[in-house]
């Protein structure tokens, strides 16, 4: 089997805990490209949250953003694939978050709205959220309730940030009420946790069937690549489907045990040039 496409997560995978791409990892991307293997990022970040990374690695192809809800052409930012939430689901999940005293974060298709988030509720920002908005060039609007939402039809993800113990019952409640139509989960935000020195989790709700792997399948169809010719590497819970279903799934050394359990190979730690091992695994497989 020759692998033609490597899909890599960013946080906890290609990026170190400072949110940077090491020289060794950058060289690994170049080795793959020189060997005719395309490298595509797949991240939970929105485009403007990841733009500096894409610029640094000089990425100009497809970019899978927002956990698979959006696929952009990185060369000009236009949306190639958009899979948003219905107004009913946005309102329903936001109402549950409000019941639990949580601020709802509505990720927008910024190519339609001009801004990245609508923050619903009058609660204070979680420290991780405040840090994220301080260090990245994202824009947001605040509204007291979803009834004042300026662009609900352009919402692609509903989220919230809080400790795992707070989010667990919220996820269970959302799943009970909307589980047939929504995919909802919570998982650790490594980069934010390192930055604020406190554990924090992300709650994310998408249309059911929206994830990185289904976005990869759509990109493969457009590029004429068989999905079995893909390699997917990641560390977090939103990487589970792509690591499980790719032709070759690779888990980072620092990966969540649930990711390691479905992977067929392991790479190094994200803080020690771990992605460089991915290039060696792929290039060696393509030589045999």
pLDDT at 167: 95
| Whether residue 114 is found in the same domain as residue 162 | yes
Rounded CA-CA distance 145/166 in Å is 21
Q: Which segments of the chain have a pLDDT < 70?
A: 189-199
Q: CATH code at 50? A: 3.40.50.1000
| Whether residue 176 is found in the same domain as residue 95 | yes
Q: Each residue of 172-221: pLDDT tens digit?
A: 999 999 989 999 999 886 555 555 455 688 999 999 999 999 999 999 99
| Whether residue 200 is found in the same domain as residue 109 | yes
Rounded CA-CA distance 14/124 in Å is 31
pLDDT at 51: 96
**H-run or E-run covering 231:** strand 230-234
Range of the domain at 190: 87-207
| Whether residue 98 is found in the same domain as residue 198 | yes
| Whether residue 145 is found in the same domain as residue 217 | no
pLDDT at 197: 55
| Whether residue 99 is found in the same domain as residue 200 | yes
Residue 67 carries which DSSP code?
A: G
| Whether residue 94 is found in the same domain as residue 18 | no
Last residue within a domain, chosen from 207, 234, 264: 207
Q: Which two tokens stand for residue 243?
A: 């690591």
- What is the value of pTM for the model shown? 0.95
* Domains identified in the chain, total number: 2
pLDDT at 128: 87
| Whether residue 215 is found in the same domain as residue 78 | yes
Q: CATH code at 92? A: 3.30.1240.10
Last residue within a domain, chosen from 175, 207, 239: 207
pLDDT at 196: 47
Question: CA dihedral defined by 138, 141, 145, 149, rounded to 10 degrees?
Answer: -100
| Whether residue 189 is found in the same domain as residue 229 | no
pLDDT at 39: 98
């Amino acid at each position: 089997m020759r692998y033609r496409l490597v899909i890599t997560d960013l946080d906890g995978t290609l990026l170190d805990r400072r949110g940077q791409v090491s020289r060794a990892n950058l060289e690994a991307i170049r080795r793959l490209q020189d060997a005719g293997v395309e490298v595509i990022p797949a991240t939970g970040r929105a485009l403007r949250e990841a733009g500096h990374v894409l610029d640094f690695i000089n990425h100009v192809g497809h970019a899978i953003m927002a956990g698979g809800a959006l696929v952009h052409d990185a060369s000009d930012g236009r949306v190639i694939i958009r899979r948003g939430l219905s107004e009913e689901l946005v309102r329903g999940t936001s109402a549950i978050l409000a019941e639990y005293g949580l601020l709802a974060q509505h990720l927008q298709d910024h190519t339609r709205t001009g801004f990245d988030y609508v923050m619903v509720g009058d609660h204070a920002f979680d420290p991780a959220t405040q840090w994220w908005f301080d260090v990245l060039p994202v824009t947001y609007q605040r509204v007291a309730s979803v009834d004042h939402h300026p662009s609900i039809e352009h919402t692609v993800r509903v989220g919230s940030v809080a400790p795992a113990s707070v989010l667990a019952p919220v996820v269970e409640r959302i799943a009970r009420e909307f589980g047939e139509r929504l995919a909802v989960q919570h998982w650790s935000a490594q980069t934010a946790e390192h930055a604020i020195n406190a554990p924090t989790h992300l709650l994310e709700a998408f249309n059911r069937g929206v994830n990185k792997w289904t976005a990869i399948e759509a990109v493969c169809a457009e590029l004429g690549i068989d999905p079995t010719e893909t390699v997917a590497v990641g560390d977090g819970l939103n990487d589970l489907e792509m690591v499980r279903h790719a032709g070759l799934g690779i888990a980072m050394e620092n990966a969540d045990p649930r990711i390691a359990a479905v992977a067929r190979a392991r790479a190094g730690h994200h803080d020690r040039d771990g992605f460089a091992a991915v290039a060696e695994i792929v290039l060696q497989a393509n030589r045999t």
